[in-house]
Chain A
Amino acid sequence: MDLFSNLALGFATAASLENLFFCLIGVLLGTLIGVLPGIGATATIAMLLPITFQLEPVSSLIMLSGIYYGAQYGGSTTAILINMPGESSSAVTALDGYQMARKGRAGAALAIAAIGSFFAGTVSTFLVAIFAPPLTAIALKFGAAEYFSLMVVGLVSSIALAHGSIVKALAMVSLGLLLGLVGTDIYTGAPRFNLGISEYADGLNFVAVAVGVFGIAEILRNLESEKTRTVLMAKVHGLMPTRDDFRQMVGPVLRGTAIGSILGILPGGGAILAAFASYTVEKKVSKHPEEFGHGAIAGVAGPESANNAGAQTSFIPLLTLGIPANPVMALMIGAMIIQGIVPGPNVAIEQPALFWGIIASMWIGNLMLVILNLPLIGLWVKLLTIPYYILFPIIMAFCSIGVYSVNSNVYDLYSVAFFGLIGYLLVKLRCEPAPLLLGFVLGPLLEENLRRAMILSRGDATTFISRPISAGLLFVAALVLVVVFLPSVKAKREVVFQDEE
């Protein structure tokens, strides 16, 4: 069977000593940064990109993916131990996980999170392996019109999944698309919006924008009110969940995995929504909804499985279509391009070892996280005692080095400062930066495919609705947009995003 021979190739690639080593480094670095608050996976990967330049493409992407789910994992550790989600997708875990920790069950909470994540990771790795090839086959039939419509779907879903005002999210997408167009027009070579600075002729550097909007803005937000963090437990004991715990977590883990796998494919931050949706579902189906917020096991197991499954399946659109589902995936695209790989459906055909190697490494990485991190928990807890004011000069230095090393362009460093300011402004104005970043990545692609489709159809705009796949995609986009604006859904959407304590 194709699936098994493909997976065998993948595991053969991922299990080479070198790739195992880089996978390990990736998950360790990821956990380390995930544990340290104030810097998320996007900024981490941006910072660590230069480390991967010298590696083989497979190793580099394996390590970057390792950082991604390592960070996810580390984020839940801090959520449980100090009620400080290192990643926003673990925000939900903090609700019940921290309460469990306060009742002296921190060890069990951590183990439940780890086991749930591992199970979800295993299932969703298989889902990626099963669904990637047929989607690739469909993607190969895509023309300019289909790609345009697909990106519209991506942008619209990022609006639907963004928190807060929909109009603001729409504005953020438009602004992001415009910023993505800074540089040189591909057809005429005319410089656009670069303020006459020739160093920006190739466009704004994505890494610089991501580090600024996510990393620097986050540091500034943390500096608003400096607080000392207290770690709940110097010693975490009783890691093994009881038989009763296991019985209670089976249902939530299964449901969480299913919810996460589906929502993860959606562009625009599926992992976070998955965690929230899972929490809401668990609370609905639970026989003891009053336990939620007071240390319910289902409140840890469900969302943790969901966000890990979502993190994994968000690789599907990246690997098959070359379309990023979230800012981290956008950085992966950047890494691929730097390595000379053109992301898209051809990757699976031209570089099967790379494609399946990454998929296999996801499972290996998840296994490493379970085996390594539970014993290492004491070390991670120690890291939490590092005061924040020592961390951010280090973060600033690494960000600067990382951004500069991409192109050795000092103007990229000025962009970091500028977009740090913009990012902080957006936080203050309660605008979500994720749709902006997605727009920024897709801007040039969207314009290119729009113009190409219009030329191919000789200026006939109906090409987008006369081609069936394109029409279907646009219909989905319209549907999503209509649904989010429906008053009843609008109200529900707000409830999902601000689940009461």
Chain B
Amino acid sequence: MAFRLEGVGPVPSDTVATLLHFNGDIMNSSKVDTTNLICGLLLVATGLWFAYQSFELELGTALRMGPGYFPFILSCALMLFGAIILVQSLRVEGEPMGAIAWRGMLFILPAPIIFGLTVQGLGFVPSIFISALVAAFASHKMKPLSALILSAALTAFSVLVFSYGLGLPFQRFGPWLGL
């Protein structure tokens, strides 16, 4: 159940109950809990990957543990827990996963990547502007013009605060611009 420790944002309805667990009031539940099925499979796969990687490392002995010893134990534990979740998922009815923020992922996740790819080449100013602009389109409510204005204002603010105010060692305009 998704009970977050931090940053609970807008709660979809007016009860904490909704915040604490996805209410199972949706009718089309199947015999298999698909959420847990996927969860179990992913955990087992992740465990397998880590176990394989640890095995490539030197395992060592209990007295002098090698780099692979502890991670190997952990991977086995992860696979075990994944398997338990997998088995459990086949016995109970599940709740559907709900809407997925495809548009959000499409525009939010690339923002830090774009910043990372361009901050050293283009420099801090253009880089932060482009990243903010891309992130702005994650919401369908954002109009192109307001996105431009917001990104420009945000860039100006960030440059003033982080670059001039706090003196963080960012190059404002990078070598790619030939300035």
Size category of the binding interface on chain A: 35 or more
* Cα–Cα, bound, A401→B162 (Å): 8
Q: List 16 interface pairs A-B (beta carbons < 8 Å), by A numbering.
A: A54-B167, A83-B11, A84-B8, A88-B19, A163-B20, A168-B85, A216-B112, A393-B135, A393-B151, A394-B150, A397-B154, A404-B119, A405-B162, A430-B22, A431-B2, A432-B1
Instruction: Indicate if B48 sits at the interface (CB-CB under 8 A).
Output: no
Instruction: Indicate if A6 sits at the interface (CB-CB under 8 A).
Output: no
**Interface residue ranges of A326-370 to B (CB < 8 Å):** 326-328
* Cα–Cα, bound, A375→B39 (Å): 48
Question: Is there an interface contact between B8 and A413, defined as CB atoms closer than 8 Å?
Answer: no
Q: Given the complex, which residues of B lie within 8 Å of A39, measured CB to CB?
A: 7, 9
Instruction: Indicate if B28 sits at the interface (CB-CB under 8 A).
Output: no
Question: Is there an interface contact between A410 and B78, defined as CB atoms closer than 8 Å?
Answer: no
Question: Is there an interface contact between A326 and B5, defined as CB atoms closer than 8 Å?
Answer: yes
**Interface residue ranges of A443-499 to B (CB < 8 Å):** 446-447, 450-451, 454-455, 458-459, 461, 497-499
Question: Would you give the shortest CB distance from B127 to chain A, in whole angstroms?
Answer: 9
* Cα–Cα, bound, A424→B61 (Å): 38
Q: Given the complex, which residues of A lie within 8 Å of B12, measured CB to CB?
A: 225, 227
| Nearest residue, chain A, Cβ from B18 | A501
Size category of the binding interface on chain B: 35 or more
Question: Is there an interface contact between A171 and B99, defined as CB atoms closer than 8 Å?
Answer: no
Question: Would you give the shortest CB distance from B157 to chain A, in whole angstroms?
Answer: 9
User: Besides A37-B10, A413-B115, 9 other CB < 8 A contacts?
Assistant: A84-B10, A88-B5, A192-B67, A392-B108, A393-B147, A394-B150, A396-B108, A396-B131, A450-B70
* Cα–Cα, bound, A174→B101 (Å): 27
Q: Given the complex, which residues of A lie within 8 Å of B43, measured CB to CB?
A: 171, 175
* Cα–Cα, bound, A344→B14 (Å): 43
Which of A226, A414, A416 is the one whose CB lies under 8 Å from B139?
A226
Instruction: Indicate if A106 sits at the interface (CB-CB under 8 A).
Output: no
Q: Given the complex, which residues of B lie within 8 Å of A447, measured CB to CB?
A: 70
Instruction: Indicate if B81 sits at the interface (CB-CB under 8 A).
Output: yes
**Interface residue ranges of B46-85 to A (CB < 8 Å):** 46-47, 50, 53-54, 57-58, 61-68, 70-71, 74-75, 77-78, 81-82, 84-85
Question: Is there an interface contact between A410 and B5, defined as CB atoms closer than 8 Å?
Answer: no
Q: How many A-B residue pairs have CB under 8 A?
A: 320
Given A87-B6, A222-B10: A51 in contact with B17 (beta carbons within 8 A): no
Where chain A touches its partner, the secondary structure class is: helix
Given A83-B14, A388-B139: A193 in contact with B100 (beta carbons within 8 A): no
Instruction: Please tell me which stretch of A22-30, A91-99, A130-138, A248-256 contacts chain B, meaning at least 4 of its Cβ atoms lie within 8 angstroms of it.
Output: A91-99
Question: Is there an interface contact between B6 and A327, defined as CB atoms closer than 8 Å?
Answer: yes
Question: Is there an interface contact between B71 and A91, defined as CB atoms closer than 8 Å?
Answer: no
Question: Is there an interface contact between B2 and A393, defined as CB atoms closer than 8 Å?
Answer: no
Question: Is there an interface contact between A178 and B101, defined as CB atoms closer than 8 Å?
Answer: no
Q: Given the complex, which residues of A lie within 8 Å of B108, measured CB to CB?
A: 216, 219-220, 223, 392, 396, 420
Instruction: Indicate if B122 sits at the interface (CB-CB under 8 A).
Output: no
Question: Is there an interface contact between A188 and B58, defined as CB atoms closer than 8 Å?
Answer: yes
Question: Is there an interface contact between A461 and B77, defined as CB atoms closer than 8 Å?
Answer: no
Question: Would you give the shortest CB distance from A233 to chain B, in whole angstroms?
Answer: 16
